[in-house]
Structure 1
Amino acid sequence: MAEHTPDRDFIEFVSGRVLWLRRIAFLLCEDWHHADDLAQTALTKLYAVWPKARSADNLDAYLRTILVNTYINETRRPLWKRLVSADTGVLLDVPERAPDSDAALDLRAALAKLPPRQRAAVVLRYYCDLSVEQTAAELNCSPGTVKSQTARGLDALRRILQAQPSL
């Protein structure tokens, strides 16, 4: 039987969570290439503190917090901007995606229009199924802030989705 070293423990933990982490990153940034970068950065940050982190009560929450904080910090940088064609209003340099046959509405496109903190609150509350308190802990804010950011995000999503033409 192989000995469990810190690196082996890290590899075992990460191997079961890469797809999960990448999906959350995609919902935050709406770009698969950027999602890969965010996930990789979050995993690198986790590895740097792995001896301390692996004793955390909830490693998934610890990793998700790193991911969300990385995303929010990157959106504050002036170089992190989406390029939109003035002629078509289409995002540039975004790979084509297969049509989402399971949903009539493009919720992901609507999510992409939300400000980063609202998007993070909505994704953590409804995609990751976290409580208000858990979300507040991950976003390092009060439960009241989570409630207001989530409510504003949901209101914005409703307005965006209602404004879309019917299929």
Structure 2
Amino acid sequence: MCAAVDDATREFDAFFEAHFAELSRLAHLLTGDSTGADDLAADALLALWRRWDRMRAAEYPVAYARGVVANMARSRIRSAVRERRRITLFWSSQSEVTDGPDVPAVIDVQEALSRLPFRKRACVVLRHAFDLSERDTALALGISVGTVKSQTSKGMAELQRQLTPLPGVERVQAAAPGGRTA
């Protein structure tokens, strides 16, 4: 029995060493949080360690690990959104509401990704940043290959729309007082 535990520990250590960096990058791309990505990957690996006896027998343990990271990232994003809403409600009742957010002139890819719904973001990141096949992406997210295809296509189209400057935007932003364009 002791030899089996040692084998399991060695297998997990090897799995950890081989996949921690990849899982951390995935967490970073899904959440946009570089400081919390390592923690999220470590939490996912801890969850895997608790079920390592089943995991080590799985056909695609890396796909399962990616799915755990994706699910944990989704939970963290939802928690962060709920927290932001609570903070916004608190401050809006305490102070005057402004005209609106200051929209940056240039949207970078990470900001554009953060605007995508989670499933589209996950499909785009796994397919294009991690170069996974449609099948591997479907396994990681627990969805069908057809869903991966459609979500990736829609996500890429949304990113292209977000990152392509609209004609005439400069003129609208440079409008003279009174609403006339410069």
TM-score range, shorter chain: 0.7 to 0.9
TM-score, normalised with respect to structure 2: 0.69
**Aligned mate of 2:72, from 56, 63, 70:** 70
Shift of the alpha carbon at 1:161?
1.1
**Aligned mate of 2:82, from 79, 82, 92:** 79
* Distance (Å, rounded) in 2 between the aligned partners of 1:133 and 1:139: 10
Partner of 2:124: 122
Give the stretch that moved more between structures: 33-42 or 115-124. 33-42
Residues 5 and 79 of structure 1, relative CA distance in 2, 3 Å threshold = farther
* Distance (Å, rounded) in 2 between the aligned partners of 1:130 and 1:21: 13
Tell me, yes or no, if structure 1 residue 153 matches structure 2 residue 132. Answer: no
- AA at the equivalent of 2:158: A
Q: Which has the higher helix share?
A: 2
Q: Identity of paired residues, percent?
A: 38
What CA RMSD, in Å, does the superposition of the two structures yield over aligned residues?
A: 3.1
Q: Secondary structure at the match of 1:130?
A: coil
* Distance (Å, rounded) in 2 between the aligned partners of 1:33 and 1:115: 22
Shift of the alpha carbon at 1:53?
0.6
* Distance (Å, rounded) in 1 between the aligned partners of 2:141 and 2:84: 22
Shift of the alpha carbon at 1:76?
4.0
* Distance (Å, rounded) in 2 between the aligned partners of 1:81 and 1:56: 38
Shift of the alpha carbon at 1:88?
4.4
Partner of 2:51: 49
Shift of the alpha carbon at 1:119?
0.4
Partner of 1:32: 34
Tell me, yes or no, if structure 1 residue 59 matches structure 2 residue 61. Answer: yes
Q: Is the 8 A contact 1:110 1:160 kept in 2?
A: yes
* Distance (Å, rounded) in 2 between the aligned partners of 1:109 and 1:76: 17
* Distance (Å, rounded) in 1 between the aligned partners of 2:83 and 2:62: 26
**Aligned mate of 1:163, from 149, 162, 165:** 165
* Distance (Å, rounded) in 2 between the aligned partners of 1:137 and 1:79: 29
**Aligned mate of 1:134, from 115, 133, 136:** 136
Runs of 5+ consecutive residues of structure 2 not aligned to the other structure: 89-99, 170-182
Partner of 1:95: none
* Distance (Å, rounded) in 2 between the aligned partners of 1:162 and 1:156: 10
Residues paired across the two proteins, number: 151
Structure possessing the higher radius of gyration over alpha carbons: 2
